[in-house]
Structure 1
Amino acid sequence: MSVTSSALASQLAPTSSLAGAYARIRQASLALCDGLAPEDMVLQSMPSASPLKWHLAHTSWFFENFILATDAQHRPLRDGWNFLFNSYYQSVGPMHARAARGLLSRPTVADVLDYRRDVDAAMRERLERGVSVELAALVRLGLEHEQQHQELMLMDLLHLFSLNPLEPAYRPATARTPQPARTPGWHRGREGIVMIGHDGEGFAFDNESPRHRVLLQPHRIANRMVTNGEFREFIRDGGYRRPTLWLSDGWAKACAEAWQHPPYWSDDLDSEFTLAGRVALDPAAPVCPISYFEADAYARWAGARLPTEAEWEDMAARLPDRHGNFVESGALRPLAADIGTSDLPQQMYGDAWEWTSSAYSAYPGYRPDDGAIGEYNGKFMSGQLVLRGGACITPAAHVRASYRNFFYPADRWQFAGFRLGQDA
């Protein structure tokens, strides 16, 4: 069946803004590597992390495999790289072991940067020819996926640099005027039946849908995140030595790994290692990064609990904007909440991802996408917990009230903190 040119045009998505977003987001990944040496980009500090070189290659692999390869004339740009830079897409094919990504001295960083240029050139040509609405949606998914990896690049680099006895700085610290912590307080949440989940406007991952009803019991949510100073009091009061505060799995993990404080803090609790190197601990800034187990133990110590994801989303969705400390601020670490006169909840967006008490599971009526893209989120809905709100290393346009991040409860290298909730 033939298709007229006018009919074909009606099936194509506008690509000018998409091409602009593609160029901007791809360049942002490279900008994160400014000032780094190749040696910084090839090391893997632990199985959960990846070399920056791998992130740069994998995000390019995503566009080649899910966009460029839809063209019947496309041929792989690099032989054997499908195996090296596939992450977890079993339906695409076999993959190199995740824990061994740091053993790949070849391809070199220069080879990977050449690959990125080739992918970008092919993508520019593809977008200029026009893409279907369905393919445009995959391009957008690829861009959101790349922004997730931009966060991972900074998380992984911080962990890597923290293991170096020289404690190198990634970027110099931005001058900040110290300020006291905002007075703690509570905001009464709504109760009754409310709607949560993506409302259909703009981009969202499949795990944010369908929008559905939940029942909220009477509750309150803290007006800001828990601070370093408050968490230090928990430590000094024996928080890491009192098993009655901890979930059993958390206590076992803390004992097995000898946890005594958040991972980048000094033993004297006066400084922390950051992307700006070692700096004095800011008692008014949010504590970050910590595991769910540590956040939950603190909440018990404080006579409170962690919010559910529905409580968090309902509160955040009613804020007038998504203002926060994101990667664009250049701070690259959580900052103290504003002590101004606003009576709105502070730090709901940016600074640090916030642990909730909610298991990462499917919403009622959820169906993963067909094909390999269906492996993106759904297959990880086991044993993980939901985090909300974004962090100081998150691009501002990447978050929304319905965004569901997820990690295992013992993970403590990602930029995660928390705020308290309580029954009302």
Structure 2
Amino acid sequence: MPVTETLLDTFLVTRKESETICTPLEIEDYVVQPIEDVSPPKWHLGHTTWFFEEFLLKPYLKGYKVYDEDFSFVFNSYYETLGKRVIRADRGNLSRPSVQKVYAYRYYVTNAIKTLFDKEPEEKLLQLLEIGVHHEKQHQELLLTDIKYILGNNPLFPAYTDSINEHIEESHQQDWVSIDAGIYEIGHGLDTFCFDNELDRHKVFLHDYEISNKLITNKEYLEFINDGGYNSFEFWHAEGWDWVSKNQISSPFYWHNIDTEWHHYTLEGLQKISPNTPVSHLSYFEAFAFAQWKGCRLPTEFEWE
């Protein structure tokens, strides 16, 4: 199968997947922005579409007509050279364009991309399309993360779906894997797509160490909580202790103690804590403090790789 055809199929599947992620949402969910760091789902759908319009269609598709002249202002994220844009904190104020119009925008741009790639394109165009696909995949991760934040901060804790397995148990026995000191290669080393921060492949020296073959579970983290981990400053970075104190942090994000039982918000709604699933939604400060309490340390980026 030609490279263009394969990549175009991946593009179409990726575009569909973004919309599938939003299928369980109500119209009202598309525009909510509880905090500056969360973007409304509607904005993600528009921004990933604007990327293809701006970087592929406008410069390379002869006779292409921009869907809406205002959309570059609305859906540009941080590209300073491409003009003015809506401040990130104001994305939740965009009741217009409507959700329906954003989906029409997606349909318009997706079809135009298919037209652009009707003929065998130059290598530069293929590279831009591949970057755009992976850019949208990144936003799919953000979509799920932001949707969870939006629904998880709704006082009713509505479920996003009842058909997603968000938490997988760590049921195997813990073992410590020994890694010998030496020089190791890190970074992307395959002839496939990667982002520039995964390059160049290079060598690093690591001292010998041991790393657990098992992630920290909710049960283990509860032991830290019950042992007063959030009240013992000696386990925390100074900045971490300030964060805990100022924000009155006493448990991981999405955790709720209801009638003396711990629950957490998941994409399937509010559920009792499962003891054997990996603990999630910790800050670096919390992970560091837990490791200190446990008498261990966190792995470095290079050790983890």
- Alignment TM class, shorter chain as reference: over 0.9
In structure 1, distance between residues paired with 2:137 and 2:3: 22
Q: Which residue of 2 aligns with 1:318?
A: none
1:334-376 per-residue CA deviation (whole Å, 9 max, x = no partner) reads xxxxxxxxxxxxxxxxxxxxxxxxxxxxxxxxxxxxxxxxxxx
Q: Which residue of 1 aligns with 2:273?
A: 281
Q: Which residue of 2 aligns with 1:163?
A: 153
In structure 2, distance between residues paired with 1:176 and 1:238: 28
| Amino acid of the structure 2 residue aligned with 1:294 | E
| CA apart distance, 1:122 | 0.4
CA spacing shift, 1:159–1:176, aligned 2, 3 Å: closer
1:25 maps to 2:17: no
Structure 1 counterpart of 2:113, from 83, 99, 123? 123
In structure 2, distance between residues paired with 1:80 and 1:43: 21
Asked if structure 1 preserves the Cα contact closer than 8 Å seen for 2:170 and 2:215, the reply is: no
1:249-278 per-residue CA deviation (whole Å, 9 max, x = no partner) reads 111111111110011111245211101001
Asked if structure 2 preserves the Cα contact closer than 8 Å seen for 1:22 and 1:143, the reply is: yes
| Amino acid of the structure 2 residue aligned with 1:14 | V
1:94 maps to 2:84: yes
| CA apart distance, 1:180 | 7.3
1:282-327 per-residue CA deviation (whole Å, 9 max, x = no partner) reads 11101011111100110111111111111111xxxxxxxxxxxxxx
Q: Which residue of 1 aligns with 2:225?
A: 235
Q: Which residue of 2 aligns with 1:249?
A: 239
CA spacing shift, 1:271–1:46, aligned 2, 3 Å: same
Structure 2 unaligned regions, length at least 5: none
1:105 maps to 2:95: yes
Q: What pairs with 1:202-281 in structure 2 (closer than 5 Å)?
A: 202-267=192-257, 268=260, 270-281=262-273
Q: What pairs with 1:53-92 in structure 2 (closer than 5 Å)?
A: 53-71=42-60, 73-92=63-82
Q: Which residue of 2 aligns with 1:40?
A: 29
Name whichever structure is richer in helix by fraction: 2
In structure 1, distance between residues paired with 2:175 and 2:261: 25
CA spacing shift, 1:312–1:269, aligned 2, 3 Å: farther
1:304 maps to 2:289: no
Asked if structure 1 preserves the Cα contact closer than 8 Å seen for 2:169 and 2:277, the reply is: no
| Amino acid of the structure 1 residue aligned with 2:137 | Q
| CA apart distance, 1:140 | 0.8
CA spacing shift, 1:82–1:245, aligned 2, 3 Å: same
In structure 1, distance between residues paired with 2:168 and 2:35: 34
In structure 1, distance between residues paired with 2:24 and 2:68: 27
| CA apart distance, 1:191 | 2.0
1:198-223 per-residue CA deviation (whole Å, 9 max, x = no partner) reads 11421100100000110011111111
Pairs aligned (count): 301
Asked if structure 2 preserves the Cα contact closer than 8 Å seen for 1:44 and 1:160, the reply is: yes
Q: What pairs with 1:394-405 in structure 2 (closer than 5 Å)?
A: none
Structure 2 counterpart of 1:50, from 39, 42, 46? 39
Asked if structure 1 preserves the Cα contact closer than 8 Å seen for 2:166 and 2:266, the reply is: no
SS in 1 for 2:265: strand
| Amino acid of the structure 2 residue aligned with 1:40 | D
CA spacing shift, 1:90–1:174, aligned 2, 3 Å: closer
In structure 1, distance between residues paired with 2:163 and 2:275: 17
In structure 1, distance between residues paired with 2:122 and 2:304: 36
| CA apart distance, 1:75 | 3.6
In structure 2, distance between residues paired with 1:68 and 1:284: 49
In structure 1, distance between residues paired with 2:110 and 2:160: 27
In structure 1, distance between residues paired with 2:208 and 2:141: 35
| Amino acid of the structure 2 residue aligned with 1:18 | L
SS in 1 for 2:177: strand
In structure 2, distance between residues paired with 1:204 and 1:180: 30
